[in-house]
Amino acid sequence: MSEEDTTKSEGIPPTEDLMREHGVLKRILLIYKEVIRRLIGEKHYDPQMITSTLYHTASIVRQFIEDHHQHLEEKYVFPKFLQAQQQTSLVHVLSTQHLAARQMTNIILHYSRVPHHYSFPERYHLVRVLSLYIRMYEPHEAREDTDLFPALRSIVTPKEFKNLGELFEEIEEKRFGKNGFQRIVQFISRIEQTLGIYDLSQFTPQPSELYEGRV
């Protein structure tokens, strides 16, 4: 039996499922960072490409991150911790940040539904919202991955844990179809290619960069 077949037969644990969705979010944050560079003039600015990129990326955020991923957390994970009186302060902050994320996505979608050349005030506002989104979600997902998700096994039974994993897979397939996660990753990859940030090797520092500015 192949590794893929073994994974399918055993199912994906709910925490692994949520963490791989965080991987999608991390790549979305990289896209937002690249858009910021273009909006502030660090790199070539093409209004039509930027609005299209923002619209399609924010649409994924709305459909996959907010309506799916965050919904799973809010309905099936956060209540477990509140019932067990564990990590309650963290859960409340995370819930508040989910609401803030929706508000920011509303603004990003508003600015990107129709392609146009942003005015300076529009660029400033959009850069600020994108920056705030990144600033909030980098520690948000890191805290979930290191503090919340690893603790889930300790507050549910093994059967509950297994059932959650199966439920998450069932919900994902119902919402996005078979291999929906893989299609979303492929879509993100195409956006990265359009922006020129898909090639992972470009992020590797060159030896000369390590010593720039050395006294």
pLDDT(126) > 50: yes
Report if residue 2 sits inside a domain: no
Query: What is the DSSP track for the chain?
Result: --HHHHHHHH---HHHHHHHHHHHHHHHHHHHHHHHHHHTTSS---HHHHHHHHHHHHHHIIIIIIIIIIHHIIIIIHHHHHHTT-SHHHHHHHHHHHHHHHHHHHHHHHHHSS-----HHHHHHHHHHHHHHHHHHHHHHHHIIIIIGGGHHHHS-HHHHHHHHHHHHHHHHHHH-TTHHHHHHHHHHHHHHHHT---GGGGSPPHHHHTTT--
pLDDT(6) > 60: no
Domain of 87? Answer: 12-210
**Mean of all residue pLDDT scores within the chain:** 92
Report if residue 155 sits inside a domain: yes
Give the mean pLDDT of 164-182: 96
Report if residue 201 sits inside a domain: yes
Q: Which amino acid is at 172?
A: E
pLDDT(9) > 70: no
Report if residue 88 sits inside a domain: yes
Report if residue 6 sits inside a domain: no
Domains: count for the chain = 1
Domain of 190, CATH number, reads 1.20.120.520
Report if residue 128 sits inside a domain: yes
Task: Give yes or no for a contact between 51 and 114, defined as CB atoms under 8 angstroms apart.
Answer: yes
Report if residue 5 sits inside a domain: no
Report if residue 145 sits inside a domain: yes
pLDDT tens digits, one per residue of 72-97 = 999 999 999 999 999 999 999 999 99
